Amino acid sequence: MAEGIDGFAKGSVNFIIGKLIDELKAFERFVRLVGGWRNIYVWILALGLILGTVAGAFKLITWREAVTAAIHLARVAWAVWAVRTHRAPR
């Protein structure tokens, strides 16, 4: 669900502003750097398997994605508000 919300948020920025969310400011590039590691899920699951806590690893993955989506959603709301009030984040 968080992945879907994150995708909706990113698509909204692209549709309304005409840029990818990662192109707005340095903060978004940092969130992309940390939140955009898709292979980190494999490493977290592998570590969970080694440590015998696959369920805990899965919970960590879901929380990580939820936090990333929440950050993107808040940033999108601000960026859209800025565009609509003519204070675009360029």
Span 13-48, pLDDT tens digits: 778 777 777 777 777 777 767 666 668 888 899 999
Q: Give CA–CA dist 10/75, Å, rounded.
A: 10
Residue 49's pLDDT is 95
Q: Residue ranges of the domains in the chain?
A: 2-84
Who has greater pLDDT, 56 or 31?
Answer: 56
Give the span between the Cα atoms of 31 and 49, in whole angstroms. Answer: 27
CA distance 17 to 76: 10
- DSSP annotation string for 46-83: HHHHHHT-HHHHHHHHHHHHHHHHHHHHHHHHHHHHHH
Q: What is the pLDDT of residues 70-85, one digit of tens each?
A: 888 888 888 778 777 8
The reported pLDDT for the residue numbered 41 is 85
